[in-house]
Amino acid sequence: MKSLVLLATLASLSPLKGYAAIDPTVAEFCMQAADFAGCVQTMSGEKKSQREGLSIAEQNLLDELKKLPNRISSSSLLTLNSNIRDFSDAVALAQHESGNSKFVIDSAKILPAISLLREQWKRHNEGKSSASSFGWSYEKNLKAKSELDSLFGGNTFAIRCGRYRALFGVSRMGDPVFGQILAAINLAIDQLIEKGEFSFPAPGEDALIPLDVSLDAKFPGWGRLKACDDKTNNDQSKEGKSSNQPNPSSGRTRF
């Protein structure tokens, strides 16, 4: 009885005043909520989307997307999963209610992109903690880039390749790509917020995120290397200069 009296009082003072009737079950459920009116509106299916054409689940997903860049940037490798849990839950709910939505399909691709970011984060930390000089494997960089290009449907970021002759043939080196992958994810999130879908350059066009070093810059841990002969997705518009090739038997580690 007290619940019904409280309900009548709140309804007269809140945006619910215009509602002809409120389901008592919904009222009872929302009685413990901090925002009673908002809870009733949500549970009653009356909440209006802030973007035209979005369902409630899609709007909730959009709201979580807006928070995501800050949550990623404030994370450590150990806290990343817990910090993006609300976004992950919002994706799951939106997939259940609006699984065919282009916005939901593209938003869900942010999760494997974050997993890819986590892998590069581990590579970055392993390189920093290594007692010896190290370099970034070009093959691993290319694999990461190809996976991100596939997820986002276009040419995300540029990479470069340097080669050197080792004891057992020619090896290929690259640059750290953690920062480029993070930037690509943030741009993808911005695109989803503004347009509802990804918009990256097509394969064969210039990458949206260019190289952050010159083509002839030194490779971390290796110095200047000759540019690789092959052209990858790419990445290089001209051949890099070569000089000071490293000793191939120096025992350096590639990550």
Tokens of 205: 């066009």
**pLDDT tens digits, one per residue of 103-152:** 999 999 999 999 999 999 998 787 665 444 456 888 999 999 999 999 99
Helices (H), 109-221: 110-129, 138-152, 178-195
Query: How many angstroms separate the Cα of 169 from the Cα of each of 57, 65, 164, 210?
Result: 54, 46, 9, 30
Q: For residue 153, count CB atoms less than 10 angstroms from its CB and return exposed for 0-12, middle for 13-18, buried for 19 or more.
A: middle
Largest CA distance in the chain: 85
Q: Tell me 219's DSSP state.
A: B
Q: For residue 170, what are the β-bridge partners?
A: 165
Side chain identity, residue 11: A
**pLDDT tens digits, one per residue of 159-214:** 998 887 766 777 788 888 999 999 999 999 999 999 999 999 999 999 999 988 77
